[in-house]
Structure 1
Amino acid sequence: MQLLTSGLRVFSWLTLGAALLLLAAVGLWYASGGRLLIVQSSSMTPKFSPADVVLIRPVQAANIVPGQVISYYNPNKLGQIISHRVVSKGPKNTFVTKGDNRPDKDLPVPESKLIGRVVAVAPGLGGLLRLLKSGYGIMTMYLLLSVVLSINVGRFIARNNPSYELYGQ
């Protein structure tokens, strides 16, 4: 029984440490200007697919070369972000882009609409992020947090108060 208890304690600390490291990494990524976006369409399949997460690093327009995948605000639809491959550079730092899974090129993208360059892809992570942001995901996270907190508070009380006894041992 004691081996199981110490194993659970180690697992709890490792889980907490991993969660804190992940939180710190995401915070540093955002603080340095990076962004995470969930892919919504199949326009870049097979490079990335719907529900993948792309990591975007800010970059100067002069450093973009054909072949790289960039993310930019759609010049024709307010608030929409597109991530497509640069086919060529036009005059005055404009970019001609195209989705890998699309037959036609996009309209030229001005430098002012550039967000950054896609530097990494996390396959399937977007589905988990969407779930966590949903009502069910938030309720599940609160429930798990409550259970873990209750167990740890109960252990603390039992360990530090000799009047509480654990029966069955």
Structure 2
Amino acid sequence: MTEATATLRRIWKNEYFQTILMIVLMVVVVFGFWFGFQLVLRSQYPALAVVSTSMLPTLNVGDVIIVQGVPASEIKADYLTGDIVVFKSQTPDYRIVHRAIKIENRTNGYWITTKGDSNPGPDAPFHESQLIGKVVARVPYIGNFALFINALGSFYYFIIILIIIVNILLSLAPSGDEKKKTREETLGEKKRLFGKLTLETLFLIILNVLFIGFLVFSLYGSFTFWQIGARPPQYVTIRGMYSDLQYQANYGANVTAAFLSQGFMTYQIDCLINGSVRIGVPTFSWVQVTILVLLLFDFWIFAKFLHLDKKIVHMLKRNSA
């Protein structure tokens, strides 16, 4: 082995180098995903966080909306079934998410009139050049983190938080001395499930409890907190699927009922208003995803345990021979 090769191996095993490499890879993956998203959806802003209550109950503050770029001629306009569109306002760097209620083909192009579902009246018409796209889906909850980071005033806070999280994860990784345990001792510790719990077993139990807790919350939960990133800053409530269904059914005197329909990894809530149906938005189902992840995780643990059991039997036979 040459001296240069040995030096490279030492650098590769250095924890600080691994931390920096992990952060760089995270940044590359995030930006690569973002630009790929832009290309697929043909939109400059393929994902945005809802910042106001003007589209309640259809869209909540903190929802991430998925925006597809479409020409104005393809926009459907109606008070209840119209597309929810995103457009640039006259204020720089400010985007509005409202439902299209009227579209006009004038001599200088299409003009679209919109209205927030919870607003008393329509907005002023805007030209098609201001159109960004239409909302094709929403993802609850996760936009609140983006709003909070944005309210702090700098993206660098996000980088700092990311570095802290990575370092915490690295600090929890086994040290060099722990890795030197013999294979027999390690297998014996992993096999012991009763009596004194191993750290790994306790960790798996905690993960399962967290998964199940999040699953229950995604169904029936409700949590209210102060969101400094909302416009204006206000208390925001995130809700599980059935809690959201009940909330929309009781929202406003004109709403007489709400209907839930489910698809693959999505659900949608439509509202009956004065005998007509107001169309909701296909919503990412945390319930279905959590169930899938929980099943895969437990199946992997079970398969790993069975494989470990075979190794222990083989080891005992070898030692007794």
State the TM-score, normalized to the length of structure 2.
Answer: 0.39
- Counterpart pick for 1:144 among 143, 156, 165: 165
Tell me how far 1:65 sits from its aligned partner: 0.9
Q: Relative contact order, CA 8 A, sep 6+: which one is greater? A: 1
Q: Which residue of 2 aligns with 1:89?
A: 103
The reply to whether residue 126 of structure 1 matches residue 166 of structure 2 is no
The reply to whether residue 117 of structure 1 matches residue 131 of structure 2 is no
Q: Distance in 1 between matches of 2:159 and 2:71?
A: 37
Q: Answer yes or no: is the 8 Å Cα contact 2:51–2:147 preserved in 1.
A: no
Tell me the SS of whatever aligns to 2:126.
coil
Once the two structures are superposed, what CA deviation does each residue of 1:34-80 show, in whole Å capped at 9, x if it has no partner? 41111111110011011211111111111111110000001x32221
Instruction: State the Cα RMSD in Å.
Output: 3.1
Q: Distance in 2 between matches of 1:131 and 1:85?
A: 26
Q: Which residue of 2 aligns with 1:41?
A: 52
The reply to whether residue 103 of structure 1 matches residue 117 of structure 2 is no
In structure 2, give the amino acid aligned to 1:114: L
Over 3 Å counting, the alpha-carbon distance change for 1:150 and 1:31 in structure 2 is farther
Q: Distance in 1 between matches of 2:141 and 2:120?
A: 25
Q: Identify the range of structure 1 (115-124 vs 146-155) with the bigger mean alpha-carbon deviation.
A: 146-155
Q: Distance in 1 between matches of 2:84 and 2:127?
A: 15
Tell me the SS of whatever aligns to 1:90.
strand
Q: Which residue of 2 aligns with 1:78?
A: 92
Where has structure 1 moved over 4 Å in runs of 4 or more? 22-27, 131-138, 150-153, 157-160
Q: Distance in 2 between matches of 1:130 and 1:69?
A: 21
**Counting helix residues as a fraction of each chain, which structure ranks higher?**
2
Choose 1 or 2 for highest CA Rg.
2
State the TM-score, normalized to the length of structure 1.
Answer: 0.69
Tell me the SS of whatever aligns to 2:110.
coil
Structure 2: give runs of 5+ residues left out of the alignment: 1-25, 190-321
Q: Distance in 1 between matches of 2:110 and 2:159?
A: 43
Once the two structures are superposed, what CA deviation does each residue of 1:117-137 show, in whole Å capped at 9, x if it has no partner? 001111221112234565765
Q: Which residue of 1 aligns with 2:20?
A: none
Tell me how far 1:145 sits from its aligned partner: 0.5
Identity %: 26
Q: Distance in 1 between matches of 2:127 and 2:166?
A: 46
